[in-house]
Structures are given as structure tokens and as C-alpha cells.
Amino acid sequence: MSAHAALAGVSRVYPGGDGRAPLHALGPIDLALRPGEFFAVVGPSGCGKSTLLEVLAGLAPASEGTVTFEGSPVAGAVPEGVGVVFQEDASFPWANVYDNVAFGLQGSGLDRSEIDARVRSALAFMGLRDFASAYPAQLSGGMRQRVCIARTLVLKPRLILLDEPFGALDAQTRLLMGDEVLRLWRETGATVLLITHALDEAAMLADRVGVMSARPGRFIDVVETGWPRERDSRLAERPDFGALVARLWSSLRVESIKALGHT
Amino acid sequence: MNPAIARHLDFLLVGIGLLAIWQGLFLWIGETGISSPLQTIRHLGALAERQMFWTHAWATLDAFLRSLLIAAVGGIVIGLWLGIGKVAGQVAEPILVALYSLPKVTLYPVILLIFGLGLSAKVAFGAIHGIIPVILFTMSAVRTIRPVLIKTAKVMRLSPAKTAWRVLMPAALPEIVTGLRIGFSLTLLGVLIGEMFASQAGLGFMVINAIGLNDTETMMAVTVLMIVLAGIANVLLLALDHRLHRRAG
């Protein structure tokens, strides 16, 4: 089966200047996402996880290597069919929830009734139906992140990239949002790449977990979790869940210590 | 007490206080210097019955609206451009700040030589007063937009023009309105100064002409009228300003 999206020999070096040395942030790295899989990336802080996502999304160029999405090279722009949810709150404060979610559809050539239908269904899916006319400033951080997910969802992405989307939320909200992401992944059939620093989150959500080294980030371990497609946060109760998290941590521990020394 | 009522009461007290100071000044200085509040209102009523007054008022309004249009549209477009282009913005900012603090009256002779006496010089003079704060506020608003919003525009595959219109503009709007509010006052100031020094029409000309003729009542009536109108406009713009900033939370 050919990869849905792939990185081949990709590295990213931030050019120096103003007396700073160039920074080798990532790679070289190889990654082939299987169609419809849920892939999580964990790694020590500053290892280039977010850079990996930006390169894959076409938001940042690869210094070396090739990036492909559905067989076509990705360069200079985000391809159609790719959705990204960021860690920071990216909701538009000047628009209400409905208009935030409809943002990517307005001016897309779709007729109003189709836009309305898609927005309503995304709002219902993310539990935002009663908040359509609220402004982001009136919502909690978790709700705003739901708005951003719904805004991505209406565009029917085939590849969804999540850059620590729950990093700013409290632990309980994170677990529940994890369940929602699983539901979203199952019902849309999209391929999902999740960047996270939380090992339990990666272990619970993903089909495969890639463990990255300290900067410049490379994959040092890729673990198949073997979970059924129908799953939720109750996985955490299983005995083999603890073993999986322990396995990830044993791969990551040395790298995290290195990363601490770097900074 | 209900805070809304308390606020209105404060407004009322300030108004009464100002009127009292005005009346006090009138009693102290006497009719040669200023006219009393009552005289001024009466005289304003008398002026309103004269065609000449409306001709001047219209001339000022005409020049002011043209200047404001140039200052607002020009300021927003230039501000967006300087805010997006980092280098251009860094070069332009100190120059603009210097221009902002420069008493622009010093440029008036140059403007008169370029535009000649009349409407175009007034409009130009009003616009250069108003455009600079609009540029500065728009520019700094665009610069401080959170990068994640611009990344979102990229993920939505918006063209640069659509990004400017659909993301940068609304994100910067609360600050742009602050700039417009200040630009509004300065544009009016510029137009009136222009009329005072080199014009044969407009309320500014009326005031300076009345001073020349020692017509204290006309001078006071027109001045008070302008203060009241500018004050009302500023209160409305300030309310809009607060509303937008609150929503942006």
C-alpha cells in the first residue's frame, strides 16, 4: 500500500545570521503515513516535532529531502485536503463560532445551503450547537480548541495534522478531547498525525507512535500499539497500556535528559 | 446606584461644571474677551438663519470629509503594507513618528505653494494631519497579530489579498478604529487651521475673520459649535472603539 503522506530524507536547518549559527532542527527523517492511520509523534522538548508538522503541511520548506502528499510533492503551499489544528488558540476573536467554523467555506464557491449544512453538522459533531452565536472570548480554552477543530472539519480534510492541540488544556479536558479526536478520526476516515509531549496521550490515541531523539530530531523508535479501531480513554485501565507507556518512556528517557542539557 | 445612571450623572456634572467655569470667566473678563453661554447660544441661533453661515459650514464639512476619506483609506492601506513588509515598516516607523510630533503648521507654506489657496490645500493639510496616526496604529496592529492566525490563513489556502482582507483587517480593526478616532480629531484640526491661515471659506475662516472684526459672539458661537460636534463624534467613536476591544477580549 502506498503512503498517504511521506517524508523522505527530510531535514530542516534554520539559517543563521546576525551572528547566530545555523540551527539544525530536524532530521534527516523518513516517515510514511499509511492511509487512514493514526500516527503520534512524541519527543523531548525542542526536538523539532512542530517543525516536522510544518514541513509536512507545507507551511515550512524542507532544507533537504522530499515531502509528498497523495503522490504529489508538497512545496511552498499547503495542499488541498490537509487540515491543521495548532496548539495556540487560533480562533478568530472578531467572528462568532458559526462564522469561525464557516471561514474556510466562505468564498469557496459552495452555495449557502451547503455551507450551512456542513457548518451545522460540524458544530453538532463538536458539541458546539448551542454556542453558534457566541464569540471566542466568551468560551473556555477547550471550547475554543473545539471551534478550531470544527473549522478544519468542514473542509473535509483527508490528512489532519494536530500540533499539541491539547497542550494548553487541563488533564481531564485533555482526556475527553482525546476521545473526541478518536471519534473524529473514525468517522471521517482521515489520516491523522498528532504531535504531543504526553506519552499517555500518544499511547492511547495512536495506531503507531514515533519516538523522536533530541535535536536534531530523528525517529529512534516506532511502536505499533495494536489497539482496536473502536477505542477510547478507558484503554488507560488495561494492564498492557502501562507496559506500552513504559516502553515509550524507556526510549525517550535518555533523549529527554540530553534535551535538558541542551537548553 | 446603577452604574449606567452614575456615569450619565458624571457626564452631566462635568457639563454643568464647564458651563459654570465659562460663566465665571465671562463675569471676570467681560464682554470684550468672551461672550456668556446664553449669549453664545442665542447668537448661534441667529447665525443659523443666515445663508452665509451655511455656506461656510458646508465648505468645512466638504473639505473635512474629503480629508478624512484620504486619511482613512490611505492610512489603512499604507499601514497594512508597512505592517506586512518588515523592512519597509522598520524604515518608515521613525520617520512617521518624527512627522507625527512635528508641528505640521511648519509645512503649510510648502503645501500652499504646491496646492494654491482653496479647497485642495485645506484637504491636503487635513489629510497629512490625520493619515499619520491611522498608519501608525494600523501598522503596529498588523505587526502584533498572533502568528497562528496568519498560519491559519495559509492552511486555508488564502491568497495574500484575501489574507489581508479576511484576516489582517478584522484582526487589526480594533486598533485601526483607535487610529481613526485620533485621525478624525487631527484631520478636523488640520482643516480648521488650514481655513484660518489661508482660505476665504469655512468655519475656520469665519472664526479668524470674526477675531479681526472684534466680533466676539460669532467667534465664540462657531468655536463652541465645533467643540460640541467634535466632542459628540469622538464619544461615538470611543464607544465603538471600546466595543471592538471588549469583543477581542
- Euclidean distance between CA atoms A213 and A253, whole angstroms: 10
Confidence at residue B1, expressed as pLDDT on a 0 to 100 scale: 64
Residues 135-174 of A with CB under 8 A from B: 135-138, 152, 155
Residues of A in contact with B159 (CB under 8 A): none
CATH 3.40.50.300 fits A5-81+157-262, yes or no: yes
- Euclidean distance between CA atoms A248 and A237, whole angstroms: 17
Residue A93 to chain B, least CA–CA distance (Å): 5
Tell me whether residues A78 and B248 touch, CB distance under 8 A: no
Scanning every residue of chain A, which has its alpha carbon at the shortest distance from the alpha carbon of B157? A78
Tell me whether residues A82 and B151 touch, CB distance under 8 A: no
Tell me whether residues B157 and A80 touch, CB distance under 8 A: yes
Tell me whether residues A104 and B249 touch, CB distance under 8 A: no
* Chain B residues with at least one Cβ partner in A under 8 Å: 146, 148-149, 151-152, 154-157, 162, 166-167, 170-171, 173, 244, 246-249
Confidence at residue A262, expressed as pLDDT on a 0 to 100 scale: 55
Residues of A in contact with B146 (CB under 8 A): 88
User: pLDDT for A131-149, tens place per residue?
Assistant: 999 999 999 888 899 999 9
Say yes or no: A95 contacts chain B, CB-CB below 8 A.
yes
* pLDDT mean across residues, chain A: 87
| B238 contacts: CB under 8 Å, gap ≥ 6 | B181
Give the total residue count for chain A.
263
B88 vs A30, A55, A217, B83, B91, CA distance in Å? 40, 28, 36, 8, 5
Choose the closest CB to B156 out of A95, A104, A138.
Answer: A104
Compute the average pLDDT of residues B55-83. Answer: 93
Instruction: Count other Cβ atoms within 10 Å, centred on residue A137.
Output: 12
User: pLDDT for A42-59, tens place per residue?
Assistant: 888 878 888 899 999 999
Tell me whether residues A59 and B148 touch, CB distance under 8 A: no
Confidence at residue A1, expressed as pLDDT on a 0 to 100 scale: 52
Q: Which of B152, B158, B167, B173 to mutate to test the interface with A (most CBs of A within 10 A)?
A: B152
- Euclidean distance between CA atoms B120 and B52, whole angstroms: 21
Residue A99 to chain B, least CA–CA distance (Å): 12
Report the DSSP pairing between strands A38-42 and A191-196.
Answer: parallel
Please say whether the beta carbons of B82 and B89 come within 8 A: yes
> Residue B61: pLDDT band by 50, 70, 90 thresholds?
very high
Q: Which three cell numbers stand for residue A181?
A: 479526536
User: pLDDT for B138-177, tens place per residue?
Assistant: 999 988 889 999 999 999 999 888 888 899 889 988 899 9
Residues of A in contact with B155 (CB under 8 A): 57, 59, 78, 82-84, 152
Say yes or no: A88 contacts chain B, CB-CB below 8 A.
yes
- Euclidean distance between CA atoms B132 and B97, whole angstroms: 8
Tell me whether residues A94 and B148 touch, CB distance under 8 A: no
Half-sphere exposure (CA, 13 Å, Cβ side) for B143? 16
Choose the closest CB to B148 out of A88, A94, A135.
Answer: A88
Compute the average pLDDT of residues A193-214. Answer: 88
Residues of A in contact with B161 (CB under 8 A): none
- Euclidean distance between CA atoms B119 and B199, whole angstroms: 8
Scanning every residue of chain A, which has its alpha carbon at the shortest distance from the alpha carbon of B167? A92
User: pLDDT for A165-185, tens place per residue?
Assistant: 887 778 787 888 888 889 889
User: pLDDT for B123-145, tens place per residue?
Assistant: 999 999 999 999 999 999 988 88
Tell me whether residues B247 and A104 touch, CB distance under 8 A: no
Please say whether the beta carbons of B222 and B40 come within 8 A: no
Residues 31-70 of A with CB under 8 A from B: 57, 59
Between B105 and B74, name the one with better pLDDT: B74
Compute the average pLDDT of residues A145-154. Answer: 92
Q: Express as a percent the part of chain B with pLDDT over 70.
A: 99
Residue A159 to chain B, least CA–CA distance (Å): 12
Confidence at residue B131, expressed as pLDDT on a 0 to 100 scale: 93
- Closest by CA to A51, choosing from A38, A65, A37, is A65
- Euclidean distance between CA atoms A235 and B204, whole angstroms: 78
Residues of A in contact with B246 (CB under 8 A): 137
Please say whether the beta carbons of A101 and A151 come within 8 A: yes
Choose the closest CB to B171 out of A94, A137, A152.
Answer: A94
Fold designation for B52-248: MetI-like fold (1.10.3720)
End-to-end CA distance of chain B: 27
Compute the average pLDDT of residues A27-32. Answer: 87
Residues of B in contact with A89 (CB under 8 A): 148
> Residue B3: pLDDT band by 50, 70, 90 thresholds?
confident
Scanning every residue of chain B, which has its alpha carbon at the shortest distance from the alpha carbon of A86? B148
pLDDT of B249 strictly over 70: no
Confidence at residue B64, expressed as pLDDT on a 0 to 100 scale: 94
Tell me whether residues A135 and B171 touch, CB distance under 8 A: no
- Euclidean distance between CA atoms B111 and B118, whole angstroms: 11
User: pLDDT for B11-41, tens place per residue?
Assistant: 889 989 999 999 999 889 887 788 888 889 9
Scanning every residue of chain A, which has its alpha carbon at the shortest distance from the alpha carbon of B148? A90
Residues of B in contact with A83 (CB under 8 A): 155
Confidence at residue A97, expressed as pLDDT on a 0 to 100 scale: 95
User: pLDDT for A67-104, tens place per residue?
Assistant: 899 988 888 889 999 999 998 899 999 999 999 999 99
Tell me whether residues B155 and A82 touch, CB distance under 8 A: yes
Please say whether the beta carbons of A19 and A184 come within 8 A: no
Q: Where are the domains of chain A?
A: 5-81+157-262, 89-156
pLDDT of A25 strictly over 80: yes
User: pLDDT for A205-250, tens place per residue?
Assistant: 899 999 888 888 888 888 888 888 888 888 888 888 888 888 888 8
Tell me whether residues B170 and A83 touch, CB distance under 8 A: no
